[in-house]
Structure 1
Amino acid sequence: MKAPKFILALLTVIFINQTQAQNTFDHSIWDQALLLNVSEEGKVNYNGFMRDSSQLYQYFSQLSANPPKEDWTREEKLAYWINAYNAYTIKLIIDSYPLKSIKDLDNPWGKKFFKINGEWYSLGELEHKILRKFGDPRIHFAINCASFSCPIVWNRAYTAENVNEALDQQTKKFINDPTRNTITDEEVNVSKIFTWYKKDFKVNGGDVKDFINRYASVKIGKQPKKGYKDYDWSLNE
């Protein structure tokens, strides 16, 4: 006896939905850890992360065992890799805590200290070989190097649903933060991120100034004084 067509159609929809659900990574553990241990201003409670380390290591296990698949959406992949970068940065710090700066560590961005799908990675590889390949300069304001002058750690997990809006918000927040960028009618003194990654900000035929002006409350024009701020590598706690 053949099943009615509407039942076959229903089963097909269920199968498709289950497949899509399997492709969506669950970042809820990381989201909870961030809410508990990162302030609205981006100050990180590393002692708190150490107390919650069992939960954190459960998230690391999930990251390691469930890398992005080819059929994931761009947003799913982007959220996964941003969260992975930030979570493993926290791991790097708490594994050697207490310390005053990430630069107190030996080769912090070149050290291969975590596995994803059986392959060893470093933070530098996640940033330069994966995240920057997305061609979206806003990622520089979502990933954090555990330092005061870095963009702040957002106290929520990135997801496929929120990543585009969140990247815009984090970019705008960073550019208009007077502790990280000074843009007035008389002076422009911006983060060294804009010179270290200058080519990343040359999008849609524009340059660094065009990118900044897209988000800045005060626009860069003909201000007489222009330069870059000293970078404060002290720990963001």
Structure 2
Amino acid sequence: MKVYRFLIAFLITFSVSAQDLNSFFTGTNSFLNKHVSKGKVDYASIHKDQSELDELLKIANGITVKVTDANNYKAFWINAYNISVIKGIIDNYPTKSPLDTAGFFDKTTYDLAGKEITLNDIEHKLLRAKFKDARFHFVLVCGAVGCPPLIGEAYMPNTLETQLESQTIKALNGDFLKVNTKKKRVEASEIMKWYKEDFTMDGLTEIEFINKYRTEKIPENYKLTYFAYNWNLNKQ
């Protein structure tokens, strides 16, 4: 009888958790579709009515997601990061840059999945430390123009791999790099400087990593430098 009751309780908990996770994904998808266009966020309209954002974060705090359920885990924390960045901007709106708020990434906390957690904790402890995947850098959006663009949809468990690939390809064939064939030089976003260890895993050089996703390959003898990160707010 005790086993039966435990099983019923487990199934109810699992069902509620799965329902909340689905609500979070669909709600995030709707929210981003409404407020994001061409990588830019309409912070002004969100600031006028924060109810949808607050509801998403409330749902997110009640979710339980395990690292062993990799696609749900990664999709949840990527979306939770991006939504929390928007919340951080809105809480300090108007602002010109996330860096105008002291501790934006390492001190301000958010209640997510039952944890009180910072943006840096999500990126470095829950994602980068758990999964050796440099593509996270192309989907975690820090609220600045220098970030890869925020897409107007949620990252979904069943399409996550395609979305990770797509955003990485777009970045490395777009503004993330500046190629000068005359000078045999390629300039990359400072993200590649800050997280060099992520882009050189498995013995790859940075240019070899880039060429995995580039349509027009970069010769290995090109000099790699970095251009300054643009921390201006990614607002519409």
- TM-score, normalised via structure 2 length: 0.85
Q: Secondary structure at the match of 1:215?
A: coil
Q: Is the 8 A contact 1:190 1:229 kept in 2?
A: yes
The aligned residue for residue 158 of structure 1 is: 155
Bigger fraction of residues in strand:
2
Task: Give 1:37's aligned residue.
Answer: 35
Tell me, yes or no, if structure 1 residue 189 matches structure 2 residue 199.
Answer: no
Which residue pairs with 1:84 in the alignment? 80
Contact 2:177/2:189 (<8 A) preserved: yes
Q: CA deviation at 1:131?
A: 1.2
Cα distance between partner residues in 1 of 2:15 and 2:157:
12
Q: 2:108 aligns with which of 99, 112, 134?
A: 112
Deviations 1:127-173 (A, max 9, x none): 11111021111011000111111111011001111111000000111
Tell me which structure has the larger Cα radius of gyration.
1
Structure 2 residue runs of 5 or longer lacking an equivalent are 1-9
Do the aligned partners of residues 99 and 22 (structure 1) sit closer, same or farther apart at CA in structure 2, a change above 3 Å counting? closer
Give yes or no for contact 1:64–1:116 (8 Å, CA) kept in 2: yes
Q: How far is 1:224 from its partner?
A: 5.2
The code of the aligned residue for 1:89 comes to V
| 1:215 counterpart (213, 216, 224) | 213
Corresponding residue pairs, total: 219
Determine the C-alpha separation between the residues in 1 that align with 2:124 and 2:100. 22
Between 150-159 and 51-60, the greater mean CA deviation after superposition: 51-60
Query: In the aligned structure 2, how far is the partner of 1:42 from the partner of 1:182?
Result: 19
Q: % of aligned pairs identical?
A: 33
1:23 counterpart residue number: 18
Aligned-pair CA distance for 1:116: 2.5
Residues 79-99 of structure 1 show CA distances to partners (whole Å, capped at 9, x for unaligned) of 000000000000000101111
CA contact (8 A) 1:33 1:52 kept: no
Q: Is residue 141 of structure 2 the alignment partner of residue 144 of structure 1?
A: yes
Instruction: Report the TM-score when normalising by structure 1.
Output: 0.85
State the distance in 1 between where 2:229 and 2:67 align: 38
5+ unaligned residues in a row in structure 1: which ranges? 1-14
Structure 1 stretches of 4+ moved >6 Å: none
1:223 to 1:49, Cα distance in 2 relative to 1, 3 A: farther
Partner residue, 1:130: 126
Aligned residue for 1:115, secondary structure, equals strand
